[in-house]
Chains A and B, each alone.
Chain A
Amino acid sequence: MEQAENPGRERILERVRNALRETAPKHAPPASSGPIFAPVANPFDRFQKECAQNLTECVVTSDMGASAAAVGEVLASIPAGEIFVQEAPELRRMVPLWQGGRSIRWSSEGGPIEASQATITLAEALVAQTGSVFVSSGCGGRGASVAAPVHIVVAAADQLVPDLDAAFARLRERGAQEKNSMLCLITGSSRTADIEKILVMGAHGPRRLVVVLALRAVPSRD
């Protein structure tokens, strides 16, 4: 579609430029200040602790084989129905270990459907500071991680970074913000505090977020 005519653009920019002829004062920094967040000493412990607090289920396994078995256990606990899976070689390899009788819809076949029972994806990074998972549209698409009631993330320990600064550095290094139309830092499963400011899990997104974290056997990326 052609861009609609937009005569307001130049007028707004003109007003902004005129408005900024005089600089606004700046608040002085506090007399003494330390780092905004304390450095994360042990990322692995911190990640698990944060997950416990934000109600992410974190399952630590020895390697990707054990991770496949762990995914199978999670799937055994949810109702029968289709599973939406990110198209990735490492996830393809795992299928025989957990599929059972379930039908799979791969992200290469299109977006998630309303009836999907769970989504399985990889992640761009895990963040210890907040117990979060960084995903991108490369992880099964834009809707994948929120469309189904359960989101299972298959990850490895070398994807874990200590804090948000390190997470952005990693994304930048890989050009993730250029390659993807969407990036999302997911912390826990969907929730709301809109009724009497009481926290309730499972609003529109997943009720359960499960991170299956393998200590060894790095999934090959790209």
Chain B
Amino acid sequence: MSTPAQEFLRNAAIKSADLAHRRTIRTGIDHYEAAVGRTGSRFNDWEAARQRIHEIKWEAVNHLDRYLLEFETRLKARGGHVYWAETAEDARRYIADLAARNNVRTVVKSKSMVTEEIDLTHTLEEKGVTVFETDLGEMIVQLRKEPPYHLMTPAMHLTRAEIADLFREKLGGVESDDPQHLVSVARRALRKAFFSAEMGISGANFLVADSGMMALTTNEGNGRLGSSLPRIHVAVAGIEKVIPRMEDLAVIWPTLARSAVGQPIACYNTLIGGPRGPNETDGPEEFHLVLLDNGRSELLADPEQREVLHCIRCGACLNVCPVFRKIGGHSYGTVYGGPIGSVLMPHLGGLNKFQHLSYASSLCGACTDACPAKIDLHHHLLQNRRNAVRSADRPASERLAFKLWRWTMMGSERFAFFAGVARGLLRAAYGLGLARTPLDPMRSWTKVHAAPAIPAKSFRALWKEQRGAS
């Protein structure tokens, strides 16, 4: 069996050579960039907005115990249940038991990355529950039996023609591949489910400590329907999702919308606090909030990388990443893809298993510049590399090679000598016509690049000659 690192390299190589895939991603990102460009003018000072998000999340994450307890107390006072889940398994069991106790047969689910993280849908399906993904993008990838491709746009890798074919096969009633028509096909297909499901499941974008309400942002209105119509609403949220005050949303909501899809603000920004109130006419009878740790408290214990928990899951870092744009979302083989996924996965899934993702970066820093929470993403990748070398299993040969390299680099004469030897050998090899053959010593570079001409003289020699001449 191949390791995650080998699979990643293989998938990345295949996807980056898939030009049709690259065109589809390019189209999606062009639309995104145009929309962000239009929305940018809504902000008088974007840098001030990023600083505010950083400060809100810094305050919450660095006093996490206090804000979580405040949130819990207030939500319970509203009649909501709060369950603290240490692991994915713990969260799955709680929700599956809840569904079984209430004879739930149908679930309508809103888009939620954390439910992907705990692989909730499969667990429920194994127990005989039918789960409808109701976000259009999620519904599409569910019909294809695929994981979401992107944090924000799960079906970004598909063209309208591919989606039309999928709907024709699975849903019927498809007359054209016009996106407007395809959306109405999906709406029809899910309408009955919304009105008959016994349970709605969602994530939560934020947990507002001072009011005991969770915030849920959607454009389609599916989150509103799923949290209003079924008898039970279950929301799953990482413990880092808490924010101190309701008023913080006045900056957070427009910022999230801009970074996520380039809108001034999303269509439905909803605050939900518990089941239907005593004087209310509709809404769920039970509301359960599952607070998930699943490795987050360990990341919290690392002050250097703690701010990774500030992430608001907008997906902006994916859209700007030159690596994501070439290899696409599925190549990572992880729940969270792109730069934030490469930073986060070693913490959630183990440094040894996911350390290779720290190298899935050109370190260009576009992700850091794009992050609305000012997370220093590319430096966290470097820290993960360092931590991997320190703690994970690296071959002794690698350690020895770097010791020798260091020794060489630390002495000017030594460096000149070994560089001269290497240049001479390479010139000889290329003189024999070995460039770009399996015997090329630079094989791993020249496999995908033209072989450079090897100069006869070193830079030092040229420098001496020309300075001497002047």
Contact = CB atoms under 8 A, between A and B. Distances in A.
Interface of A: 1, 3-4, 6, 8-9, 11-13, 15-20, 22-27, 29-30, 33-38, 50, 53-54, 87, 107-114, 130, 132, 137-138, 140-147, 163-165, 167-169, 171-172, 177-198, 200-206
Interface string B86-130: 100010001001000000000000000000000000000000000
B301 A177 contact: no
B267 A18 contact: no
Interface stretch (B6-14, B49-57, B447-455): B49-57
A202 B187 contact: yes
B229 interface: yes
Contact of B282 (A35, A36, A112): A112
A191 B307 contact: no
Contact of B220 (A11, A18, A192): A192
Nearest to A11: B86
Given A36-B49, A177-B211, A190-B220, A142 B254 contact: no
A110 B283 CA distance: 10
Interface stretch (B25-33, B351-359, B396-404, B428-436): B25-33
A182 B121 CA distance: 26
B73 to A, nearest CB: 13
Interface of B: 24, 27-29, 31-32, 35, 42-45, 47-49, 51-52, 54-55, 58, 61-65, 68-69, 78, 81, 83-86, 90, 94, 97, 134-137, 140, 153-156, 158-160, 163, 179-180, 182-184, 186-187, 190-192, 194-195, 211, 213, 219-222, 224-225, 227-229, 239, 246-247, 249-251, 253-254, 261, 264-277, 280-283, 286, 291, 293, 297-298, 300-301, 303-304, 306-307, 374, 376
B229 A183 contact: no
Contact of B281 (A13, A108, A206): A108
A97 B153 CA distance: 45
Q: When A and B form their complex, which 3 residue pairs have the shortest distance between CB atoms, in order from nearest?
A: A205-B221, A111-B282, A203-B220
A24 B45 contact: no
Contacts of B221: 146, 190, 203-206
30 contacts: A4-B83, A8-B85, A15-B300, A16-B65, A19-B300, A20-B65, A24-B58, A25-B303, A30-B48, A35-B45, A36-B43, A38-B44, A113-B195, A114-B195, A138-B280, A142-B276, A146-B225, A147-B229, A163-B250, A164-B254, A168-B250, A177-B273, A182-B228, A186-B267, A191-B220, A192-B136, A192-B137, A195-B158, A204-B225, A205-B221
